[in-house]
Amino acid sequence: MIPRYSRPEMVAIWSPETKFRIWFEIEAHAATAQARLGVIPDEAAKVIWDKGSAATFDIGRIDAIEREVKHDVIAFLTHLSEIVGPEARFVHQGMTSSDVLDTTLSVQLARASDILIEDIGVLLDALKLRAFEHKRTITIGRSHGIHAEPTTFGVKLAEAYAEFDRARSRLAAARAEIAICAISGAVGTFANIDPSVESYVAAQLGLDVEPVSTQVIPRDRHAMYFATLGVIASSVERLATEVRHLQRTEVLEAEEFFSKGQKGSSAMPHKRNPVLSENLTGLARLVRGMVTPALENVALWHERDISHSSVERMIGPDATITLDFALARLTNVVENLVVYPETMRRNMDALGGLHNSQRVLLALTQAGMSREASYAAVQRNAMQVWQMQGDRSGKFAELLKADPDVAAALSPEAIDAMFDDFYHLKHVDTIFARVFGAA
């Protein structure tokens, strides 16, 4: 991923320095386990650890060797032998390259998950704070983009909180599924290495063992992991899209913070665009775009082919780095979001109270009218208001009072009582208790 959409801590997980250090640790832990089994001398395992731990791996040298041997793990092992000396002949005993590569990828994805889980936690804190701030900030709910019934801006944010809370749980589960070690040899049968070596390496790296591997860890695990990232990216986009719609000029119920000195357009000085949220929409597309290749990696040939390798070298870093950046950016948007309660109220009132149509419908049915007749009476008056131009304030209630069928069932006072907008908010406390727990 390009530096523009990257954060240093996540990038470091995927650096060559980190990768080669993990490769060394896998080989060294395996050597320790082999020494305990008596397969290699204890002193050899100690030399491997001591010399390798003190070394700085020469990336240029490894690259030069790889250009000759055309194999990245062999290039690393060759360089490691230059560092360790004669005892290097005891490195990689009974192992295959995928034991190193797959276990390293597991370590990297687990570490990346820890950062992403922390990112979501910070976002949840921001959402909770803003949700309680606007717990009773009334606004119109929309379905199909059209006014429906009142809700609160806090409830909107509570919805996002619940969604990202689920995302955190899913990611924790995906982390557990991907944090897997495989040190099982050429086709997964442990023909030349004892299974206890795998168990030891896994324990040292904080991983579980793969119950049955081929030459590689089965890629259904990876597919589930990247699919989880894709779902989280879609949640990012969902909230970003809400901000974009609310910032539209005709709506303007909320907008991204516009800092001093910021400029929205090279041509139009008046512009204040939701550029961060638009950017998040694009980043979400990128992360989702990496899910399909991960799914296609599942069906490898027999005990393994290499078709997955080039894919994972890209989607591993790119998906996690991009999502890390996106979550941090979304948190910034939420924390600094400018909210306009008066505009929310003005927009809600723009259709003259039509958002109370269901309440009138139910009152008419309870007063004895059939549902069909009640619906027809409410709709014909609502359509008149809908077609009005200019100020519609109070028009819906007035029309209902003048309608003979409605007036026969409901008194003017009863009709007026149905236009208390805060009626729609009576269960907000219940919703918040469900989302955030009892106060």
Catalytic residue numbers read: 144, 265
CA atoms within 13 A on the CB side of 420: 8
Question: Are the C-beta atoms of 58 and 65 separated by less than 8 Å?
Answer: no
For the chain, state the CA radius of gyration.
30
C-alpha distance from residue 31 to each of 18, 59, 205, 317, 384 (Å): 20, 23, 14, 29, 82
**DSSP3 helix / strand / coil % (the chain, rounded to 5):** 70, 5, 25
Q: Which residues, other chains included, contact 390 with Cβ-Cβ below 8 Å and sequence gap of 6+?
A: none
Distance CA 288, CA 231 (A): 8
User: Quick one: tokens of 293?
Assistant: 């290749």
- In DSSP notation, 282-339 reads HHHHHHHHTHHHHHHTS--STT--SHHHHHHHHHHHHHHHHHHHHHHHHHHHHHH-EE
**DSSP code for 39:** S
* Helix, strand, or coil (residue 407): helix
